[in-house]
């Protein structure tokens, strides 16, 4: 799980923001823990103590300021040699529907080099990468993450329909967090100021 960003659009400290009964990061980690995986690794900035979920490995990314590429490299490098794949979850996505996680694994087990959920014609997260793509992920640089790699896969990227827009929804601003909390509670949205 990528959680090493500065949260600058949020005003900082985004992942500690309250989402329901827990922090945003803990809500996202709880979803990741339901995936068919051996374990969850949360990648953070050095010194960040974000996660209170049990049985989660936290790894500080020394060069986090380089961007998502550095965080992905650190995550892939931390995997055991026998890993057959890796989900890439984002720490600010607390509404990912767990119903997409097994179908993503089935697509990669069935031979796809990677699989991603889709909703409304848009590709979302988490993305599951087969081990064959680990060398490509270890070569990433900059802040674009694996987008170019996924684009290069073209039709080889398995697309799994998601039941809702939780695969697209991330929290970048306090307004987005308020909107997510309103949707989760079923309350009608408040008028904008």
pLDDT digits (tens, 9 = 90+) for 108-124: 999 999 999 999 999 99
Q: By percentage, how much of the chain surpasses pLDDT 90?
A: 61
pLDDT (0 to 100) of residue 187: 45
**Whether residue 12 has pLDDT greater than 90:** no
Q: What is the pLDDT of residue 71?
A: 93
Which residues, other chains included, contact 191 with Cβ-Cβ below 8 Å and sequence gap of 6+?
Answer: none
Alpha-carbon distance 91 to 44, whole Å?
10
What pLDDT shows up at residue 10? 81
Mean pLDDT of the chain, nearest integer: 88
Nearest to 133 by CA among 118, 115, 114, 116: 114
Q: How far is CA 142 from the centre of its chain?
A: 17
pLDDT in tens, 20-49: 888 889 999 999 999 999 999 999 999 888
What phi and psi values does residue 34 have, to the nearest 5 degrees?
Answer: -85, -5
Task: Report the C-alpha gap between 139 and 102 in whole angstroms.
Answer: 27
Per-residue pLDDT at 14 exceeds 70:
yes
What pLDDT sits at residue 22? 87
pLDDT at 185: 54
154-179 average pLDDT score: 91
| Structural domains for the chain | 2-183 (3.90.550.10)
pTM: 0.89
């Amino acid at each position: 799980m990528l959680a090493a960003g500065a949260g600058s659009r949020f005003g900082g400290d985004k992942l500690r923001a309250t989402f329901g009964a827990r922090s945003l990061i803990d809500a996202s980690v709880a979803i990741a823990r339901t995936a068919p995986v051996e374990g969850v690794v949360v990648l953070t900035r050095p010194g960040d103590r974000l996660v209170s979920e049990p049985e989660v490995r936290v790894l500080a990314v020394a060069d986090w300021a380089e961007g998502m590429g550095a965080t992905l490299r650190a995550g892939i490098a931390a995997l055991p040699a026998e890993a057959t794949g890796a989900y890439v979850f984002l720490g600010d996505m607390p509404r990912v529907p767990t119903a997409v996680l097994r179908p993503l694994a089935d697509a990669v087990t069935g031979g796809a080099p990677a699989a991603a959920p889709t909703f409304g014609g848009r590709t979302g997260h988490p993305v599951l990468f087969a081990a064959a793509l680990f060398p490509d992920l270890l070569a990433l640089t900059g802040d674009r993450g694996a987008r170019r790699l996924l684009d290069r896969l073209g039709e080889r990227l398995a697309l799994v329909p998601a039941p809702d827009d939780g695969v697209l929804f991330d929290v970048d601003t306090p307004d987005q967090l308020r909107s997510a909390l309103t949707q989760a509670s079923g309350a009608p949205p408040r008028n904008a100021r």
